[in-house]
Structure 1
Amino acid sequence: MSENTQETVKTDENEALREEGIRALKAEREANKALREELKALKDWKDAQEAAGKSETQKLTDENSALKATNAKTASEALRLRVAMQKGLTEKQAARLVGEDEEALLADADDLLSSFKPAEPSEEGKDDGSDLDTRPKEKLKGGARPQEEAVEYDPAKLAAEIAAISQ
C-alpha cells in the first residue's frame, strides 16, 4: 500500500471513531438527564411523604416556633427604632444600636451621640487642640520692636476702653 492509501484509511477510522464517540456521549448525557429527573421526582415524593407523616400537632408546633422567632425580631426592631426616635437618631444610626432591653439601647444611643459631638474646650481661651471649631489665638509681636507686648485688638475690649475714656 502506498502512504496516501494508509493515511486515507487512518482518517476514515478516526472519523468513524469520532462519530461513534459523539453518539455515545449524547446517549450518556440523555441517560444522565433522565436519572436526574427521576431523582428529583423521588426527592419530591419523599418530602411529600414526610409532610404527610407529621401529625397536625407537630405542624402547628413548627409554625408556632417560626412565628415566635419572627415576633421577637419585630419587637426588637420596634424597640430599637423607638429609642432612636427618642434620641433623634437617623435610621442608619438606629441600625447601629445594640442592646437587649430599653435601658441598654438608651445607654448605647447616648454613647453614639456623644461620639459625634465635638469636644468642648477645657478652659476659656486656652487652645489645647481639642476644640476644632475655633482658630488658635495669634501671638503676634511687632516687627520693629519684638520685645514689646502686642496691642490687643479685640473689638469688645476696645469699645469698652473708648466708653470708659469718654465718660
Structure 2
Amino acid sequence: MSEEFKAITTQEEFDRAIQDRIKREKETLEKKYADYEEIKARNAALEGENTALKASIDDSNKKTEKYDKDISDLNAKIAGYETANMRTRIALQHGIPYDLSSRLVGEDEESITADAKKLAELVKQKEPLAPLKDTEPIIDGKDGAYKSLLENLNLEGE
C-alpha cells in the first residue's frame, strides 16, 4: 500500500493506463493459449484419422456382412446335403429305390424313417416269376426244326 492512489485527470494518462492493462491481459492470454496452433493442427490430424477409421470400419462391416451371408448360405447348403444323404440312406435301408428317395419328407431322422416305412409298403418289390417254359428258340442244327414243330403241335392240342 505504499503506492498512493493517483487520480487520472487527462485522456493521455487514461489511455496509457488502459494500454498497460490491455498489454498485461494480452500477455496473460498469450501465455495461456501459446499452444493453440499446435492443438489446432493436432485436432485437424485427428479428424482426418477419424474419417479414415470410419471408412475402414464401414468397409469391414460390409465385408463382414458378405462373409456372414456366405457362411449362412453354405450352412444351408450343407444342411440340404446332409438331409439328402440321410434320405438316401434311409430309403436304401427300407428297400426304396434310389430314384424315390427324394420323395421322402420330414425334418428329422425319425419322421423321414416313418415316411420311408409307409412308402416301402406301397413300393414293395415283388419277386419275379420264373417263366413257365423256355421262350428262346432252340437252334440245334438239323433237329431244331423238328423240336420246334413238335412243341407247336403240343400247344395247339391243349
TM-score w.r.t. structure 2 length?
0.38
Between structure 1 and structure 2, the one with the greater Rg is: 2
